Structure 1
Amino acid sequence: MSATDPTATVEDGPDLKVEERGRVLVMTMDRPAARNAMSLAMAQQIADALDLLDSRPDLSVGVITGAGGTFCAGMDLKGFARGEIPVVEGRGFAGLVKQPPRKPLIAAVEGYALAGGFEIVLSCDLVVASREAKFGLPEVKRGLTAAAGGLLRLQHRVPYHLAMDLVLTGRMWPAPEAAEVHLVNRLADAGGALDAALALADEVAANAPLALAASKQVLVQSVDWPLAEKFERQEAFVDPIRRSADAQEGARAFVEKRSPEWTGS
């Protein structure tokens, strides 16, 4: 989770901008002079925004991006030198990587997503990137390890030998190559990642919010469930959805040939 920019500085004002766009919560890491290196303040603000996303029934999807043409360069080393570690209790580095939100989260990547920045991306459920974006876990070049989820998640997102290549060499990885192995869901022209991510978010948010969150949780948590228990254990997530008002509304809307009006209940 180390940064690649040792000159990162703390700037005035909030480190994170939060905006609601319909059912989508947009979080913009806003420290462009420091290539959006992760500060303790920004980590806490991300954690607070994710709490908001999960608590509001009128919000279905989150989008996280970076200002100034860069996603995130990793940890703010100047803050680290002052004794600040951008970790939030319970949520981990960036207020995110240890405990992502219950609801779907989309990364919109321009420029570099390096070290902890790439680990933020790996914590997201969908990834949209500029064709010029680059990912990387350069920690081994600095005598460190990608301990904010890079070592834990990358091998489950891409083939094993590719994960080893990226971790052990610390090389830059262009977004088009990431798209070839489906780590990136959609590519955009330079400067267009956020707009493409918002279009994807709107597509997701058109669906029932309770069903979205439950579907994500089953996909994430069922990975290590014993085969004989999988169907039984998913019932805790999916049975309440069958009983929900939104399930009834979805059926009525289908019969009446209209768009459903979700209430999140």
Structure 2
Amino acid sequence: MEDSVRTEQQGHLLVITIDRPEVRNAMDGPTAAAMHAAMDRIDADPGIFAAILTGAGGNFSAGADLKAAARDGHSGAVTARGPFGFCMRPPAKPLIAAVEGVAVGGGFEMVLACDLIVAASDARFALPEVKRNLVALGGGLLRLPRRLPHCVAAEIALTGGMIGAEALQRWGLVNRLAAPGEALATARRLAADILANGPTALAATIAILRQAGGGTEEADWARARDQARPALTAADRTEGLRAFIEKRPPRWLGC
């Protein structure tokens, strides 16, 4: 499992790399289990404030490993966190996708499970399941219409055709375009902007953003107050205010 998903921590940032370039980083059971473990690590380690997810060898991911599924009778790429190791339950900290090459099927669904997307200008995305009379059940059909106009999401899902990163940026799905080969470096710069801020506030903010609109406005307000409470009572809140008064950069503790 450790060979198919690599992790590298630099300061408070964890970079997760799907490392199966020979199959365009397609996900089988062991790879999903390793991804699940990496996501658990993000949640469990107070020293990790944010993470980047990317793929090795010039592609993000071709989704489920269909050859493994045909051999085993099932893909095995579903864990307690959902399809591909995290699509139903992403980590409770900001997650950035850094996309090169293709992100298709489950690969696109993993991208959509991230909070921000950095893509090479020539990256391509698709949910091609309908072409094989399959249904995209890794969250893509749930997240696409939340993040794109319904008609655009419907065209992507119903045609199964490819759409480029530049078009998705015009529709507001891709945050930043990078030169080919530079998606990870660009994602690191975006992560640096995020990591300059208070970690407990980041966790609370991403929780509120993910669940906004999930109920009545009154319920959203109550849930936001509950999710903000840990940040507002954290040592980092005191540190943030003290750093402002003392006119110096804050020294975040993650608690």
The normalised TM-score by structure 1 is 0.93
Contact 2:199 2:252 in 1 (8 A): yes
In structure 2, distance between residues paired with 1:207 and 1:163: 33
Post-superposition offset of 1:220: 1.1
Post-superposition offset of 1:236: 1.2
Matched residue type, 2:3: P
Structure 1, unpaired ranges of 5+: 1-11
Aligned residues: 254
Aligned counterpart in structure 1 of residue 233 of structure 2, from 226, 237, 243: 243
In structure 2, distance between residues paired with 1:223 and 1:229: 9
Contact 1:28 1:65 in 2 (8 A): yes
Aligned counterpart in structure 2 of residue 178 of structure 1, from 168, 174, 180: 168
The question of 1:96 aligning with 2:96 is answered no
Matched residue type, 2:161: R
Equivalent position of 1:46 in the other structure: 35
Matched residue type, 1:74: G
Q: Secondary structure at the match of 1:224?
A: coil
Contact 1:57 1:209 in 2 (8 A): no
Contact 1:75 1:86 in 2 (8 A): no
How large is the RMSD of aligned CA atoms in angstroms?
1.3
In structure 1, distance between residues paired with 2:78 and 2:156: 27
Matched residue type, 2:33: Q
Equivalent position of 2:190 in the other structure: 200
In structure 2, distance between residues paired with 1:256 and 1:180: 42
Post-superposition offset of 1:205: 1.3
In structure 2, distance between residues paired with 1:262 and 1:99: 26
Structure 2, unpaired ranges of 5+: none
Moved over 6 A (4+): none
Aligned counterpart in structure 2 of residue 108 of structure 1, from 98, 107, 110: 98
Post-superposition offset of 1:13: 6.5
Equivalent position of 2:23 in the other structure: 34
The question of 1:57 aligning with 2:46 is answered yes
Post-superposition offset of 1:182: 1.3
Post-superposition offset of 1:84: 4.2
Post-superposition offset of 1:217: 0.6
Percent sequence identity is: 46
Post-superposition offset of 1:207: 1.1
Contact 2:27 2:77 in 1 (8 A): no
Equivalent position of 2:202 in the other structure: 212
